[in-house]
Amino acid sequence: MKKSSSSSRYSNDYLNYDILVRIFMTLSTAELLVVPLVCKSWMQASRSPSLWNKLDLTTLHSSIHNVPKIRNTWNDICSQRKLDLLLKFGVRLGGGGNIRCLIFNYYVYLSDFHLITAAERTPNLRRLVFPDSGYLSKDGIYNAMRLWGGLVSMTITSIVNRPYMFSAIGKYCKNLSQLKLTFNFEQRHADALVKHTPNLMILSIRDVTVNLRALCHVLKNMERLLLVNICHSITIWDRPDGSIVLYEVKSLTNHLSISCLKKIISCEVNGFCRCQRPNYDPRRHPDEKFEDIWRYDEVTCLGID
């Protein structure tokens, strides 16, 4: 009888663990971070590797952690320490080696210290999404990219819009195939991509200004490139006299072959590539439309295998 009772208890424990894991799969990262504080069984279930393929810190604006939707927030010493604790606790809870995707909060200020802390603890990372706020030095970027040599997808914001960002990628992230840029795309960026990311297959330049002359340079010189998504962007052309004019994507037939043109995804409506958003809600925070586009995984959104 004792043996039967012990076996029954084991089965119930396993069942409870499995049910808890399934429930926890519906929670955000911010909510998962407080689950272990409830009880021992919840702590055990919250450590399941199936919950921690992605460490998504975008939900930190919830009431649990109270990150306001203001750029460069959490820039004071107290908040920076709080971000450090959240990163370390989240990585430890999920097991650093299990985490394949890291998405920083869009508004939180990111420093070298936090970037390297994350890089040291997530050696198997495949997708990285930078925040829109912070300052990262050349040494900080190089040290992080050296530790994240297995990256295949990255979203780069204005805080790393520096020449050394692309050179660090070229030196350490040889397998990078998907890249999203959320800053105005110019000729210098095109030159850097051609030089440092020869294996790039998917390029997304979203909701910004795109220099089509620079884009032509990329399309003509990057043989592995399969598509370029410039939806929601303003497209321009710089003239030899230094002036800049709005330019339609369809006018690129004078500059690109048909095969190159087919690689461009745009949303031209009534002329230039700045689509109207009929579902835009004026009650939303002004930055939320950028945040939505910023965090999307382009491969998943476009249905690419």
**15 pLDDT exceeds 60?**
no
Segments making up each domain of the chain, as ranges: 1-51, 54-301
Could you read off the pLDDT of 155-214 as tens digits, one per residue? 999 888 888 999 999 999 999 999 999 899 999 999 999 999 999 999 999 888 999 999
Say if CB 164 and CB 139 are below 8 A apart. no
Q: Which residues contact 60 (CB under 8 A, 6 or more apart)?
A: 30, 67, 86, 105, 108
What pLDDT, on the 0 to 100 scale, is given for residue 140?
95
204 phi, psi to nearest 5 deg: -125, 125
Q: Residues 110, 89, 94, 178: what is their CA dihedral angle, to the nearest 10 degrees? A: 0
Query: If you average pLDDT over residues 265-294, what whole number do you get?
Result: 53
Query: If you average pLDDT over residues 245-269, what whole number do you get?
Result: 85
What pLDDT, on the 0 to 100 scale, is given for residue 61?
54
Query: Of 13-27, 189-203, 246-260, where does mean pLDDT reach its minimum?
Result: 13-27
Residue 266, token pair as written in the block: 């745009």
> Would you tell me which CATH number, out of the four given (3.40.50.300, 3.40.50.2000, 3.80.10.10, 3.40.50.1820), belongs to the domain 54-301?
3.80.10.10
Could you read off the pLDDT of 58-109 as tens digits, one per residue? 876 555 566 667 676 777 787 788 888 888 877 877 776 888 999 998 888 9
Q: Which residues contact 115 (CB under 8 A, 6 or more apart)?
A: 136, 140, 141, 144
Considering the chain, what is the average pLDDT of its residues? 80
Distances (CA, A) of 101 to 51, 129, 297: 12, 8, 10
Q: Which residues contact 69 (CB under 8 A, 6 or more apart)?
A: 61, 107, 285, 287, 288
Query: If you average pLDDT over residues 218-246, what whole number do you get?
Result: 89
What pLDDT, on the 0 to 100 scale, is given for residue 1?
41
